[in-house]
Amino acid sequence: MIYWLRALTKFCRRCINILVTRPAHQADELCALIELNGWNAIRFPTLEIAAINNEKINRQLETLGQWDWLIFISANAVNFALSANNGRIDCFKKSSIAAVGKATEKALQAAGLTVDLLPDNQFNTEGLLATDEMNQVKGKGCMIIRGLGGREMLANKLYERGAEVEYMEVYSREMPMADSVIMTAHLKQGTLHALTITSGEALKNLMMMVESGLRDKLLAVPLIVISNRLKELAEKSGFKTIAITEGTGDAAIIKTVGMISQRAQQQTNGG
């Protein structure tokens, strides 16, 4: 095993190695794009998404039609809400539907649902709250469909604007039992060139999952995040170099990886 790891990291000194921390079932597309560009994707999921099934969700599904707005926070929210309803979409069609971002919109459309509201350019909670529709919610009911826990900003703002607000929490985020052998080897050899983070929970778990003696090495690796909020969290964690993508999708992440890889390649060639 030790010989194999040494051989791997020696070979990968010539590669641009990118750590992908997405949940295992959501990493394929980004990893494929990384490989397509000639880089090496190292999978290290720091989140595991698990369905929540309880009587509260069943009751909420039965009364969805009474809500003016169904607000989906993520593609996971779409997929797990549909799964909780055995794939049936009729009850979701009785209300106007809002999506926080393009990935969420894509998941809704794939399910056969029409998206009535999407932020114009800032694809996050702040962008959604800036829309005219979300500023005219006085007396309206808003069901926020999301994972367990998370930010309260959206609900609080809608409540302040006079809306009735309720959560439907259809999945939980857990820390997985990921194999850290390959990531650890790259950190020790200094052959990890960038890592990607797309949620605060993923960042928090990453810091807990890496060996304490390697945290300084991890913090020295260029970090790619998809929002200013994540950048602030990363700065508090101690990361030295942080790049924010121009969007939240895979294409934006790949573009940022490209810029970092150019610098890494120049350093590698220079060495």
What domains are defined for the chain? Answer: 14-47+177-270 (3.40.50.10090), 50-174 (3.40.50.10090)
pLDDT band at 3 (very low <50, low <70, confident <90, very high): very low
- This prediction has a pTM of 0.81
Q: Is the pLDDT of residue 123 over 90?
A: no
What would the pLDDT profile of 12-39 be if each residue is shown by its tens digit? 445 899 999 999 989 999 999 999 999 9
What would the pLDDT profile of 125-184 be if each residue is shown by its tens digit? 999 999 999 999 999 999 999 999 888 999 999 999 999 999 999 999 999 988 899 999
Q: How far is it, in rounded angstroms, from Cα 191 to Cα 221?
A: 9
For residue 108, the model assigns a pLDDT of: 98
Round the average pLDDT of the chain to a whole number and report it.
Answer: 91
Q: What is the mean predicted confidence (pLDDT) over 53-58?
A: 94
For residue 10, the model assigns a pLDDT of: 43
What would the pLDDT profile of 187-206 be if each residue is shown by its tens digit? 999 999 999 999 999 999 99
Instruction: Indicate the angle between helix axes 75-84 and 55-62, nearest 10 degrees.
Output: 90
